[in-house]
Structure 1
Amino acid sequence: MEKLKRHPDYRGQEYVDLGVAIAVVGWLDPLVIGTAVRSGKYEAQDLKKVWHYLARFS
């Protein structure tokens, strides 16, 4: 999570915040993002941008 927080300029602070919000006990991985997508609570395109953060900075 700390790596994401250091790069708000990559896609935008709102996607860093979303990543933090969906993280499970501070952990963010493809399973967590997939669960968030399936929940229907978040826009798929927003979660895609969180995935970009995860792919680039983890």
Structure 2
Amino acid sequence: MQDESVSTAAAKAAPPALLTSASIIFGLTLNDWVAIATLVYVGLQTFFLLKDRLRKRKEKRRQQ
């Protein structure tokens, strides 16, 4: 039971600890990290949207 609480606490503390470490190592602020994460998220969404549309277009052409 105690092992689960320790692992849960470690999992909850990991993101802030990583952000603080990255801020110290790379010298980026929280605002910079939010901007980077937003750009990565938008890029991934665009990639998967285009991939899905291209796949549907290929399937449509094969059916014709």
* TM band (smaller chain): under 0.3
Structure number with the higher helix fraction is 2
Structure of higher RCO (CA pairs closer than 8 Å, 6+ residues apart): 1
TM-score normalised over the length of structure 1: 0.28
